[in-house]
Amino acid sequence: MRPRDPVTAPPAQQEVQAKDACLRLLTDRSRSRAELFNKLIDRGYDEAVVNRVLDRLTVVGLVDDAAFAEQWVRSRHVYSGKGKRALATELRTKGVAPELAAVALDQIDGEDERERATELVRRKLRTASLDFPVDGPGGRSSERDKVVRRLVSMLARRGYQQGMAFEVVKAELARAGSDTDDLSAE
C-alpha cells in the first residue's frame, strides 16, 4: 500500500485527527501499538504526532500490547484452532514484543494444544470417508496414508508440531476404527 501524502494540518489538529482515526480502528477490534502506528503513518501523519497520540492512548489503557496479545492468543486458539507456532508468528507480524508474546503464549499448555488439535481432527473425520478399499492399486494403506497426510498437514498449517499432530491423527483414526498399526511418523 502506497503511503498517502503527508497530512498538512497544524500539529494540534493532526493529533485530534490521528486520535479519532485510532479510535475508529479500535472500534473494529483491539490492535497492537505497532499496527496503529503503521496505519497512521500510512495515512500520512507525522511520526512525532503519531507517537504522542499512541502514548496518550496507552496511558488511558486503550492501547495495551500485553492485553492485546493475551486476547489474540485466546481468541485465535479457541475459535480458529491455531497452535502456538502459528500464534507466535501472528503476534510477531502484529508488532508485539517477544517478551509480551511469550507471556500470552504461556496461557496455552501442551494439553490445551493437544485437545484443540483433537477437536479439529474429529471435525474433519466426521466428513471424511474412512472406508478404505482393500484391493486395487495402492490398496488400503495408500488411501489411509493419504488421509493421514491431509490431516497432519491441516494441523501443521495451523501451527501444531508434526510429532504431536501425527500422534493425534493416529489416535483419532484408531478411535474411529481405522487400522493404524502400520503407521509411523515420517
Instruction: Give one DSSP letter per residue of 13-27, joined into a string.
Output: HHHHHHHHHHHHHHH
Contacts of 45 (CB under 8 A, 6+ apart): 7, 14, 17, 18, 21
pLDDT at residue 7, as a whole number = 72
- What is the total residue count of the chain? 186
Above 70 in pLDDT, residue 186?
Answer: no
Q: Cα separation of 38 and 41, whole Å?
A: 5
The average pLDDT across 65-93 equals 96
Dihedral of the alpha carbons of 158, 164, 167, 168, in degrees to the nearest 10: -40
Q: How many CB atoms lie within 10 A of CB 60?
A: 8
| Residue 86: alpha-carbon gap to chain centroid | 5
Q: Cα separation of 145 and 47, whole Å?
A: 54
- Residue-wise burial string across 101-124, b where 16 or more C-beta atoms lie within 10 A, e elsewhere: beebbeebeeeebbebbbebbeeb
Q: pLDDT category, 145, cuts 50, 70, 90?
A: confident
Give the three cell numbers for residue 151.
490431516
Q: pLDDT category, 131, cuts 50, 70, 90?
A: low
Sign of CA dihedral 77, 162, 112, 90: negative
Above 50 in pLDDT, residue 63?
Answer: yes
Above 50 in pLDDT, residue 49?
Answer: yes
